[in-house]
A = this chain, B = another copy of it.
Amino acid sequence: MLLLRRCPRLARLCSINSHRHPVTPALAPCTASFSSDSDRGSEFRWSRRWTHAVAGLLAGTGAVLAYALHQHKAEKADAITGQTVDKLPSSSTSSSSTSSSSSSSSSLPIFSQDEVSRHRTLQDGVWVTFKGGVYDITEFVAMHPGGDKIMLAAGGAVEPFWALYAVHNQDHVLEILSEYKVGELRAEDQKKQQSLNPSDPFSSDPERHPVLRINNLKPFNAEPPPEILSESYITPNVFFFKRNHLPVPRIDPESYKLTVEIQGPNRERGGALSLSLDDLKNKFPKHTVTATIQCAGNRRSDMHKAKQVKGLNWGIGAIGNGTWSGAKLRDVLLAAGYSPDDANWARHVQFEGLDQDVAGTTYGASIPLRKAISEDGDCLLAYEMNGEELPLDHGFPIRVIVPGTVGARNVKWLGKIIVSDVESSSHWQQNDYKGFSPSTDWDTVDYKTAPAIQELPIQSAITVPADGAIVDRSDEEVTLKGYAWSGGGREVVRVDVSIDGGKTWKIAQLKSSDKEQTAGATAPPPGQAWAWKLWELTVPLPADTEEMEVVCKAVDSSYNMQPDSILPIWNLRGVLSNAWHRVKVKIQEEQDDQ
């Protein structure tokens, strides 16, 4: 514990420990034993998958030092054989909070969830719960092989995280945890489940991962922490931002029907086509498309900071990259009787969701017919997301995937498709999700003057480090990470990154997968680059300043650039916030041991 206390540097690293660092000679032996097969070292022999996921983090100084600390700890643990499960809370625990709970049948104190929730920082102590136990893992944070990701669970349960990272389901992980047990969770909090209020239209909403940052609870709108976005090229389903306009409908996949209607002048039709989920899965070829979906409101908080806007205060996480599988919208339209002649009158394809408000109004949107029917448009009626059944929050059983197009048109819980001469009449098509001039305010806005947002403009953001992060001068360099994407299938061809607020620029390395890029990697055909690129850049820490302003800006294959600043693109709804992204990072000299 003292050892940790003497390393304030470690604490700081928790907010930014994913930068690269050359291993200094003094630490090299630790690195060597880390990869050894000794019994003690084996506690950190993670699965290949895990290793891959946290490779960037493990390369950091933090992990190296953390491992040294753990060795120290493990040596002590060896000396106290058997004392692994019901260890009493140590008096040296950094969290000095006194339990107000009465004693129970266990010899350990009882804590309420509220008390646990108060322990979310290294200063207050980092507590987590697991199967009714309360654990003070403050000391372990710096040793966690997954780096500061562990902080995401601070003050709550670890189960949702462990469920995602199967590497934790090993005895030695439980053993390590047991060392930190400080109490039991109050019985009523253990039993506490999301209370289902039958009169609440949101009562059937699914559970969500607690790591999500909630912008609005009902309807549910939440985004992952930025650093998760750049951790994997494909965004895991649970971390993928959720943007619901209405309660999540519970749809019985057995009785689900999708209606496809082709309106048209003087057209005799035998009624609309009705397709079951089974039809969609079996009567049409299955196509898979990797596509990024971004909410029009992504980065609204940046715009809001510049000047107030109306809308959910999204950070930079209202974007994700998924692999979607389903029937081609084109194939379904053709099956419904669409013919090239329909292009003479039809202009739009409308989608109606099965999610509805109390008045029965359903979510709706439309896209240009050309996008829907084009061979190259790659629009899907998706029933799978990242190889799994489409999750409830993402539109189970069917959602439309309109690659390159704003999230709002990728209608979830799809109930009806209409080929029409007009756009969807929904509020979300006609009024919302449109861009206006900075001079337009709520008194002067005329919704008809602006087109509905379809393709989105070039975008990029910095995911690591976070704004306000601290890096150590002695690290000498820092690795910056982020994402970049453009709508309309325009490929991101370059990301420029500045560490001096935009005065000078360096070119970031682009990644189109989690694998090492090969020189001969096939670029997507022009106009079909639906997926984002992750970017990374390691830069030496500038010698002459204590603060770096990191800025990124991306360029797409049409050489569209992001605008420099926010105010000139400000709009009353705070959509299309794609000015250069900026974060400020402090560079501090390593503090002396106390």
Interface positions of A (Cβ within 8 A of B): 347, 368, 370-371, 376, 435, 437-440, 450-451, 453-458, 487-488, 493-494, 496, 502, 504-507, 525-527, 553, 555, 557-565, 568-569, 576, 578
Contact = CB atoms under 8 A, between A and B. Distances in A.
Contact of A439 (B488, B504, B565): B504
A437 B505 contact: yes
B558 A569 contact: no
B557 A496 contact: no
Contact of A557 (B454, B504, B568): B454
Nearest to A502: B568
Q: For the complex, would chain A's binding face be called helix, strand, loop or mixed by DSSP majority?
A: loop
B488 A525 contact: no
Given A455-B557, A559-B435, A559-B576, A371 B450 contact: no
A435 to B, nearest CB: 5
22 contacts: A370-B526, A370-B527, A371-B526, A438-B496, A438-B504, A439-B496, A439-B505, A440-B507, A451-B557, A454-B557, A455-B557, A456-B559, A457-B558, A457-B559, A487-B558, A502-B568, A553-B568, A558-B560, A562-B563, A563-B563, A564-B565, A564-B568
A526 B450 CA distance: 14
A457 B560 contact: yes
Contacts of A502: 568
A504 B439 CA distance: 7
Nearest to A347: B525
Contacts of A559: 435, 453, 455-457, 576
A565 B453 CA distance: 25
A560 B557 contact: no
Across chains A and B, which 3 residue pairs bring their CB atoms closest together, nearest first? A564-B564, A455-B558, A368-B526
A507 B560 CA distance: 22
A529 to B, nearest CB: 11
Contacts of A457: 558-561
A294 B69 CA distance: 63
